[in-house]
Structure 1
Amino acid sequence: MGASSVLSHRKCSSSSRSSGRDEQSFFRTETSDMMSSLIRFLLVGLLPTVVRCSRGAVLLYSRLGGDALLPCYSPVPLDCSSITWTFYQGGRVRFTEEVREGRVSAVSDKSSRLTLASNCSLAVRDLVVDDAGSYHCKTHQQSITAVYLSLLAITSSSTVTELQPGGRIALSCTVFTYYDTGLCAGRPAPFDLTWASEDGVTLRNGTRQELIFSTRCSLTLVTKLRREDNNRKLRCQVSSQENGTAAFLDFTSAFLFQTTPTAQNPVQLPISRIVLCVALPVMVLIVSFFTWRGDRKRAKAFAAGMELQEMN
Structure 2
Amino acid sequence: MTTMKDLTRVLLLTCLLPTGLSVKKQSVFVYSRLGGVTLLPCTGLPSNPDCSLISWTFFKGGHVRYTEEVSGGEVRMDSDKSSRLSITSNCSLTIRDLLVDDAGSYVCLQGVNSVTDVYLSILTITSQSTISDLQPGGNLTLNCILFTYYDVGSCRSYSSMFNLSWAAADGTLLQPEDNRYELIGRSRCSITLVTHLQRGDNNRAWRCQVTTKGNIRAAFQDFTSRFLFEDAPTALVPSADVSCPVHLPISRITLCVALPIMVIIVGVCTKRGDRRRAKTSAAGIELQEVHC
TM-score when scaled to structure 1?
Answer: 0.66
Note the 1:144-183 alignment, pairs <5 A: 144-183=115-154
Computing the radius of gyration from Cα coordinates, the structure with the larger value is: 2
User: Is the 1:163–1:256 Cα contact (8 Å) retained in structure 2?
Assistant: yes
Residue in 1 that maps onto 2:40 = 70
Q: CA deviation at 1:254?
A: 1.2
Q: CA deviation at 1:82?
A: 1.0
User: Is the 1:60–1:148 Cα contact (8 Å) retained in structure 2?
Assistant: yes
Unmatched runs of 5 consecutive residues or more in structure 1: 1-15, 19-25, 27-55, 298-312
Residue in 2 that maps onto 1:242 = 214
Note the 1:8-87 alignment, pairs <5 A: 56-73=26-43, 74-87=45-58
Residue in 2 that maps onto 1:217 = 189
Residue in 2 that maps onto 1:276 = 258
Q: CA deviation at 1:284?
A: 6.3
Q: CA deviation at 1:281?
A: 4.9
User: For residues 295 and 158 of structure 1, do their structure 2 counterparts lie closer, same or farther at Cα, with a shift above 3 Å needed?
Assistant: closer
Name which of 214, 220, 224 aligns with 1:252.
224
How many residues are paired up?
Answer: 259
User: For residues 144 and 185 of structure 1, do their structure 2 counterparts lie closer, same or farther at Cα, with a shift above 3 Å needed?
Assistant: closer
Residue in 1 that maps onto 2:97 = 126
User: Is the 2:136–2:230 Cα contact (8 Å) retained in structure 1?
Assistant: no
Query: Which deviations, in whole Å up to 9, do the C-alpha atoms of 1:165-196 show, x marking residues without a partner?
Result: 33322111111122444212576331111111
Question: Secondary structure, in 3 states, of the residue corresponding to 1:166?
Answer: coil
User: Is the 2:150–2:156 Cα contact (8 Å) retained in structure 1?
Assistant: no
User: For residues 213 and 244 of structure 1, do their structure 2 counterparts lie closer, same or farther at Cα, with a shift above 3 Å needed?
Assistant: farther
Partners of 1:290 and 1:92 in 2: how far apart? 85
User: Is the 2:136–2:231 Cα contact (8 Å) retained in structure 1?
Assistant: no
User: For residues 177 and 189 of structure 1, do their structure 2 counterparts lie closer, same or farther at Cα, with a shift above 3 Å needed?
Assistant: farther
TM-score when scaled to structure 2?
Answer: 0.70
Q: CA deviation at 1:237?
A: 0.9
Residue in 1 that maps onto 2:242 = none
Query: Which deviations, in whole Å up to 9, do the C-alpha atoms of 1:52-82 show, x marking residues without a partner?
Result: xxxx443211112222222224233111111
Unmatched runs of 5 consecutive residues or more in structure 2: 1-20, 239-247, 280-292
Q: CA deviation at 1:236?
A: 0.8
Q: Which amino acid aligns with 1:167?
A: G
Give % identity: 51
Q: CA deviation at 1:121?
A: 1.9
Name which of 131, 136, 141 aligns with 2:107.
136
Partners of 2:82 and 2:271 in 1: how far apart? 87
User: Is the 1:129–1:181 Cα contact (8 Å) retained in structure 2?
Assistant: no
User: Is the 1:204–1:211 Cα contact (8 Å) retained in structure 2?
Assistant: no
Partners of 1:199 and 1:228 in 2: how far apart? 16
User: For residues 232 and 217 of structure 1, do their structure 2 counterparts lie closer, same or farther at Cα, with a shift above 3 Å needed?
Assistant: same
User: Is the 1:115–1:123 Cα contact (8 Å) retained in structure 2?
Assistant: yes
Partners of 2:278 and 2:143 in 1: how far apart? 82
Q: CA deviation at 1:211?
A: 0.5
Q: CA deviation at 1:208?
A: 2.5
Residue in 2 that maps onto 1:307 = none
Partners of 1:150 and 1:66 in 2: how far apart? 12
Q: CA deviation at 1:239?
A: 0.9
Query: Which deviations, in whole Å up to 9, do the C-alpha atoms of 1:29-62 show, x marking residues without a partner?
Result: xxxxxxxxxxxxxxxxxxxxxxxxxxx4432111
Pair 1:101-2:72 in alignment:
yes
Q: Which moved more, 1:93-102 or 1:75-84?
A: 93-102
Residue in 2 that maps onto 1:228 = 200
Q: Which amino acid aligns with 2:214?
A: E
Partners of 1:103 and 1:227 in 2: how far apart? 53
Q: CA deviation at 1:288?
A: 7.9
Partners of 2:278 and 2:185 in 1: how far apart? 89
RMSD: 3.8
Query: Which deviations, in whole Å up to 9, do the C-alpha atoms of 1:62-111 show, x marking residues without a partner?
Result: 11222222222423311111111122334344433222222333554433
Residue in 1 that maps onto 2:163 = 192
